[in-house]
A and B are shown apart, each in its own frame.
Chain A
Amino acid sequence: MIEVTGLTKRFKRTLAVDDLSFTVSPGRITGFLGANGAGKTTTMRLLLGLDQPTAGRATVNGMPYRDLKRPLTHVGALLDATAVQGGRRAEQHLWWLARSNGISRSRIGALLELVGLAPAGGKRIGGFSLGMKQRLGLAAALLGDPEVLVLDEPTNGLDPEGIRWMRALLKSLAAEGRTVLVSSHLMSEMAVTADHLIVVAQGRLLADAAITELVRPGTSLEDAFMNVIGRSAP
């Protein structure tokens, strides 16, 4: 369960997140939709304690992220899959992460298997494609078997087969009762993946509804999105 209340973040003159409130419930995939620069990544960074909010709060299972003990066992996050040091081998990267949160190193092999990186586990990350880095990032997010997943555009760089695989994996994770928040600007992908949508523009909440409410028969999610965005245009 993720709860965001009156969350606001101002960077000098720009208001990146503007009085945002929403709840992400367990057991379903919540799509976090918005154009580039709408405040999706900033919201996720605030949620993970990487930036301090100007006002408001964000909690995971009722607690601010920074107060969680062994946070990776509560929340798995994938922000920027390319933000890894290329000199390390994939299994070494997962090893230090596991060690930092007291997670058994024995989970690493199975996770590399799960994300389809088993043959590349001993290779240096520097030689990985974007798709492989996304898979590694997902393995890192799942390392602590967390109840909550926060994923920023995880399908970037994946091939069509990879996208299908990711979708199936996210659905199974949600079906296990986990809370899954996935940001994207790919409407068609969200239309077939998400159960619930949170739509933001210019840092403000535009819609928070089940996908069936937003997308009426005969229209696409893209139409619905443009419609929601259009209504908010100044």
Chain B
Amino acid sequence: MSVVAAEWIKLRTLRSTWWALGIGVLVSLALTVLGASTVISRWDPARTSDQAAMGIVVAVYVGVILAQLPLGMLGAMTISGEHASGMIDTTFVAAPSRACVLMAKAAVLSGAAVCGSLLIAVPGYLYGRFVAAEFRPSLLPTGAWTVIAGGTLMIVVTTLLGLALGAILRNGAVATMALVAIVLILPFVARVLPWGEQINRFLPTYPALQLIEQAPDIMPTWTAFTVLAAWAVIPLLIAVIANERSRPGS
């Protein structure tokens, strides 16, 4: 627990953390508000209150996943910044278990990602209800929880994938490139390939878009959750193994 507390102090005493979170939250919130207004203005007046509530939640979580890149970069910088400055040695002298350090970083970053997503989702949801008041939206229909869980998991997974890539590649710019490639470029490339749907099943973006109802269902919901979660768990395991090896060339 001490290591988690120490990592939490480290995370919040760097200005870059607040820049990444602030930009991520503000930009996403602005786009959520714009997006929600546009979508709601086009709704069929016959929409039920459950459909209206669902529509608001979906619009909000489309906004939330827009914050994934700043948060993924924050994840990468959290460890690559220590490699660049050399402070990682001090970290490992204070806490010799490297797996523990990585898990502690993962824990505080997950917390930051969930808080960030709530800072977008809660005001976005309240705004959506305000704009869609004439549809008398219900509170949270059953299907909404899948969207909330899927959107939240997506932003946590991207943050942790950034951390894992930063730990493996030890360079912030390279890790960010790899993250953008996995989250944005590969899914786009896969769409134009003949067997792209098969590839997309195994990339993190499609399952996330399916869960927040932005893509047709091509796999069961639990499969989508599993594939998405695996994109945090497996890279972190690789990072733990890569970290246990001594520093090359030093």
Interface residues of A (CB under 8 A from B): 11-12, 45, 48-52, 65-66, 68, 71-72, 77, 79-80, 82-89, 92, 95-97, 99-102, 140
Contact = CB atoms under 8 A, between A and B. Distances in A.
A97 B101 CA distance: 13
Is chain B's binding surface mostly helix, strand, loop or mixed? helix
A99 B96 contact: no
Given A83-B85, A85-B87, A96 B247 contact: no
B86 A83 contact: yes
Contact of B94 (A84, A95, A97): A97
B92 A49 contact: yes
Given A99-B2, A101-B2, A50 B93 contact: yes
B27 interface: no
B9 A95 contact: yes
Contact of A77 (B2, B86, B93): B93
Contacts of B87: 83-85
Given A49-B92, A50-B93, A99-B9, 19 more contacts: A11-B249, A49-B93, A51-B250, A71-B93, A72-B94, A79-B89, A79-B90, A80-B86, A83-B85, A83-B90, A86-B85, A87-B13, A88-B10, A95-B13, A96-B6, A96-B10, A97-B6, A102-B2, A140-B90
A66 B96 contact: yes
B190 to A, nearest CB: 38
A68 B96 CA distance: 9
Contacts of A140: 90
6 shortest interchain CB distances as A-B pairs:
A83-B86, A100-B6, A96-B9, A92-B13, A66-B96, A51-B246
A50 B247 contact: yes
A49 B2 contact: no
Interface residues of B, number: 29
A83 B89 contact: yes
A45 B92 CA distance: 11
Interface string B74-92: 0000000110011101111
A70 B6 CA distance: 13
B85 A85 contact: yes
Nearest to B247: A51
A94 B215 CA distance: 48
Nearest to A14: B249
A99 B91 CA distance: 12
A87 B247 CA distance: 24
A87 B9 contact: no
B96 A49 contact: yes
Interface in B1-30: 2-3, 5-7, 9-10, 13-16
Contacts of A97: 6, 90, 94
A95 B9 CA distance: 8
B95 interface: yes
Nearest to A93: B13
Nearest to A64: B96
A191 B119 CA distance: 61
A84 B7 CA distance: 15
